Structure 1
Amino acid sequence: MPGPVRFAILPLILCAGIAHANGAACENGLVAVKDAPEALSARICAAADLAISLFAECGLSLAAPVEVSLRDSIDPPCFGLFHCGERRIELLTPEAMAEGLRGESVFAHVPPLRFFDSVVVHELAHALYDQVDCPFASCMATAEYMAYGYQIDSLTPQDRAPIAGAEGADEPVPRDMINPFIVMMAPDRFATAAWHHLQQREDVCAWRQGIMSGAILFDHENP
């Protein structure tokens, strides 16, 4: 992707080597965790394993290791931040995420630790899409489409049910709903629209593969 683009999952709206002296390498060989206690490192690795398995269902995979670091705060304020081109993710601690999650958020019903897991998946989906060459200054809408799609897929059936059964869920989602303006101004609306749009595709894997091939884009040169 061109430029120093960063992708974050916002609370107010919503390539290093694998081994590190102050970190722990996950057994999957694709994620290393820094600045996290042992139990939380294990949880991040388990969430990463889930992300990797979800990607593999459509024949997709991370091409290089990703480093994950825990933070008490992130600038700009967000739950998680993927640094494009750097294979690096910053995550808020579960406690900080719980404090920042708004009561009206589409994810408000998800228990804090399971929400934390889903953010790990969201940011690793950004790492996955970072392997695609974006032909524009930014491919925010397409990247967030992939990230929110995988984040919601990663939820338990119980946690996903309120999103799947939301009002209007049976109505076709128009393609123009997937745009960077809605990402920034109404991320919860974007998240649900993106996931429902994806579920309405005849072949979800073919659609995701099309995105990863660069054939499917929701962004434009002049949004």
Structure 2
Amino acid sequence: MSRLKTWLTAALLAGPAISEPLACPGPGPTITVTAGTTDHAVHLCSVARAARSRLAACHMPQIAPIDIRIVTELPAQHAKCMGLYHCDTEIIEILDLAGLRRSVSPSSAFARIPPEALQDSLVAHEMVHALIHQRLGADSGPPVQNEYIAYAMQLDLMSDPARQALLAARDITAPIPPEGLNEIILLMAPDVFAIFSWHHFRQEGHGCTLIGKLLDGAPGPFPNISP
């Protein structure tokens, strides 16, 4: 999945967005969506607003504009990703449905959910990266910590049927030991890391309370990672 700190993220490297941008209605800093159709952009505005409310309640308020673009492809160096947040431009890019169908391996737990539901969930995932960067800037913690938060909130904001289908793909149950939240699993099996993150987030005493502590600089439950 995406990493908060990316390399060579200039807009010229990005896949082309495929319609006119739509400024989502409502109060607060602007969210702009560019998608294949106006109806799709309106839908994603609704998804983004719901995500913004939930993330604000988890210590991640939006304080600057966010630009979400549905693209046909991502930069070549991120070809294995489904979405990206470009911290230098405040742009979020997410693959279109055809791109998601191409990029998701049939063996991945993410293949168990419809691409439409996956795309919606990626809005939340990438908004986490955007909002953490807005709050903390370049010194925003280790990638594994940010991906933990992003995956936890991605699953938190999924519909229950989609989340249950994803979870059913792997025989994983709580409690999750801290050693399960490591960079090797993140890089080699991001779907497993996502499920670990969700179960860990849901454990007693964790949830948004833990996220708040992490964003305030507290040590995280990540082995061999300095906060």
Global fold match (TM > 0.5): yes
**Counterpart-to-counterpart distance in 2, 1:132 and 1:205:** 17
Aligned to 1:30: 30
Q: What amino acid sits opposite 2:63 in the alignment?
A: A
Aligned to 1:173: 176
Aligned to 1:101: 104
**Counterpart-to-counterpart distance in 2, 1:132 and 1:104:** 35
**Counterpart-to-counterpart distance in 2, 1:96 and 1:111:** 13
1:150 to 141, 148, 153: 153
**Counterpart-to-counterpart distance in 1, 2:114 and 2:195:** 18
Structure 1 residue 175: Cα displacement: 1.4
Question: The residue matched to 1:33 in structure 2 has which SS?
Answer: strand
Q: 1:85 to 1:201 in 2, by over 3 A?
A: farther
2:113 to 95, 110, 115: 110
Question: The residue matched to 2:111 in structure 1 has which SS?
Answer: coil
**Counterpart-to-counterpart distance in 2, 1:221 and 1:158:** 36
Q: What amino acid sits opposite 1:89 in the alignment?
A: I
Alignment of 1:40-119 (within 5 A): 40-75=40-75, 76-77=78-79, 78-119=81-122
Structure 1 residue 181: Cα displacement: 2.4
Q: Note the aligned Cα RMSD (angstroms).
A: 2.6
Deviation string, structure 1 residues 120-157 (Cα, Å, up to 9, x no partner) = 11111111221225658x61101101110111111111
Q: Which structure is higher in helix share? A: 2
Q: What amino acid sits opposite 1:173 in the alignment?
A: I
The size of the alignment, in residue pairs, is 204
In structure 2, runs of 5+ residues without a counterpart are: 8-19
Aligned to 1:220: 225
Q: What amino acid sits opposite 1:141 in the alignment?
A: V
Kept in 2, the 8 Å contact 1:178–1:190? The answer is: yes
**Counterpart-to-counterpart distance in 2, 1:97 and 1:164:** 19
Aligned to 1:14: none
Question: The residue matched to 2:112 in structure 1 has which SS?
Answer: coil
Q: Which moved more, 1:109-118 or 1:53-62?
A: 53-62
**TM-score (normalizing by structure 1):** 0.80
**TM-score (normalizing by structure 2):** 0.79
Kept in 2, the 8 Å contact 1:141–1:183? The answer is: yes
Q: What amino acid sits opposite 2:47 in the alignment?
A: A
Aligned to 1:125: 128
Q: Highest relative contact order (Cα 8 Å, sep 6+), 1 or 2?
A: 1
Q: 1:5 to 1:117 in 2, by over 3 A?
A: same
